[in-house]
Amino acid sequence: MTLDRFGREINYLRISLTDRCNLRCVYCMPEDMRFRPRAELLQDGELLLLIRLFTELGFHKFRLTGGEPTVRANVVEMVRAMAQTPGVRSLSMTTNGLLLKQLAGPLAEAGLQRVNVSIDTLDPVKFKRLTRWGDVQDVWEGIEAAEAAGLAPMKLNAVIVRGYNEDDVADLAALTLDHPWQMRFIEMMPFGDVAEFQLAQVITSQAMRATIEARLGPLVPVDGGRLDGEARLYRLAQGQGDVGFISSVTEPFCAFCTRARLTADGKLRMCLLRDYEMDLLTPLRAGAGVDELKALITKAVYHKPWGHGLAHNVVPRNRVMSEIGG
């Protein structure tokens, strides 16, 4: 068990497999984004070694992110190796879904248990404007493939951006009427070079709920309104699935945070919205032993911040979202 200085048990690691992506979403990165040379990123053996060390320190829940994790070479083989690592109890992935039509089956066979798929609108024109490069039909086919492969329960994520898709929340929420899915709406968070755009375009969870209820009727809290991970869940009358809201900006859930993030270039980041990081790749390549690396991880966990500083205008600046891993 690894505790931070506030007594929280940190046991959940989100791993960025790559900083690269096959989309250029307006809230995530500039269209001319430049990525790090692959040699500067964690290689397969390095990543698997670190995962083993994390499990030995009590981490048991792992989520693969990016960039876009499915564009990493040998992603199926990496998933298989991770799933077979002693101590890994939960292995899931957050993806834009573009490649799931081809990869959902192989990933499930390799040991992946669940996927969260990002889909910010069902409108093809709006989707293209938001993602700059994408086709929403490819995502929809990926969702169907993931469900068919048993990567369930299915969770869909939508980042809502003022001027782009705030009118689409009801249509997305309505998916839960016909499908046993969790449709989760995420308040846009500020990062790096695009922080000013993100802060200006944020739509609050309260506003999203009002829009949904005006169209579809009351949202009834699930499980007494308690958090399910980072989402607070609701259900529409006659709904088969749940509608969730991740309110990192307006209703922070920092007191219950059990997460750490490992970036593609080997930095351990203890809060999504704080710049504090611990470099693991440099000492690993310099020959650091297992005990030394575990000590660095333990130190980083101990100094995990209580929460973000958005209320005090403290915005993370050293990375954009795609470089952190969500």
Q: How many CB atoms lie within 10 A of CB 77?
A: 12
Residue 179, pLDDT > 50, answer: yes
> pLDDT per residue over 32-58, tens digit each?
888 999 999 999 999 999 999 999 999
Is 6 inside a domain boundary? Answer: no
3-state class percentages of the chain: helix first, strand second, coil last, to nearest 5: 40, 20, 45
Distance CA 227, CA 205 (A): 14
CA-CA distance, 96 to 312, in Å (whole number)? Answer: 32
Within 169-230, strands assigned E span: 182-187, 219-221, 227-228
Alpha-helix residue ranges (DSSP H) falling in 149-194: 169-173, 175-178
Any domain includes 264:
yes
Residue 2 lies in a domain: no
Q: Which CATH number characterizes residue 146's domain? A: 3.20.20.70
Domain assignment present for residue 16? The answer is yes
As for how many domains the chain has, the answer is 1
Q: pLDDT tens digits, residue range 79-137?
A: 999 999 999 999 999 999 999 999 999 999 999 999 999 999 999 999 999 999 999 99
Residue 307 domain boundaries: 12-323
Query: Does residue 253 form part of some domain?
Result: yes
State yes or no: cis peptide before 67, omega within 30 of 0: yes
Distance CA 120, CA 163 (A): 13
Q: Is residue 190 part of a domain?
A: yes
Contact 14, 263 (CB under 8 A): no
3-class state of residue 160 by DSSP: strand
pLDDT surpasses 60 at 187? yes
Residue 193 lies in a domain: yes
Q: Is 251 within the bounds of a domain?
A: yes
Max mean pLDDT among 110-119, 254-263, 266-275 falls in 110-119
Q: What is the helix (H) or strand (E) element at residue 65, kind and residue range?
A: strand 61-65
